[in-house]
Structure 1
Amino acid sequence: MKMCIACGMPMTAIADYPLCDISKNYCKHCAHADGSMHTFDERLAILADFMVNKQGIDSEIAKQTAYILLKKLPAWKRKI
């Protein structure tokens, strides 16, 4: 089973991949409509927004937490 390099999501079905392209190493949630991967800043904003809206976390704490979580993932280790 592959894990998304950008968010850590397990990718267990073809539908989990962007445009159902199993050669990608990131999931459909980390991709633009054209199948290209989100940037770090886009992923950071999306994850922080999720934490605020779905988990009720303060926005500044959500941004800090999202940053800490993302920097541990393969896609972002070199970029930070």
Structure 2
Amino acid sequence: MKTCIACGMPMKTKEEFAMGDETKDYCIHCAKPDGTMQSYEEKLESMAGFIIKTQGLDKDVAKNVAKEMLSKLPAWKN
């Protein structure tokens, strides 16, 4: 099982990989419609939105939580 380098999601099935391509290191939630990986800003906004939706946090708090989470993932390390 692979883990998405951009959001940390476990990818267990072919459908969870970007474009259904198991050679990709990122998931369907981190892929743009053309199959390329979202930018950091796109992923940050998406993840903050997910945190707001699932945890009900304030936008600024959710964005800070998302930044902290993303900083630990391979795609966003400096």
Report the TM-score, using the length of structure 1 for normalisation: 0.93
Residue 55, structure 1, aligned to residue 73, structure 2: no
Cα RMSD, aligned residues only: 0.8
**Structure 1 portions without partners, runs of 5+:** none
Percent identical residues: 47
Distance 1:73 1:49 in 2: 18
Deviation at 1:53, TM superposition (A): 2.3
Report the TM-score, using the length of structure 2 for normalisation: 0.95
- Higher mean alpha-carbon deviation, 47-56 vs 35-44, is at 47-56
Per-residue CA distance 1:19-46 (angstroms, 9 max, x = gap): 1111100001100111000001000000
Partner of 2:11 in structure 1? 11
**Structure 2 portions without partners, runs of 5+:** none
Distance 2:36 2:27 in 1: 10
How many residues get paired? 78
Partner of 1:77 in structure 2? 77
- Tell me which stretches of 4 or more aligned residues in structure 1 moved more than 6 Å: none
Distance 1:52 1:24 in 2: 28
Per-residue CA distance 1:4-61 (angstroms, 9 max, x = gap): 0000001111001111111100001100111000001000000111111221101111
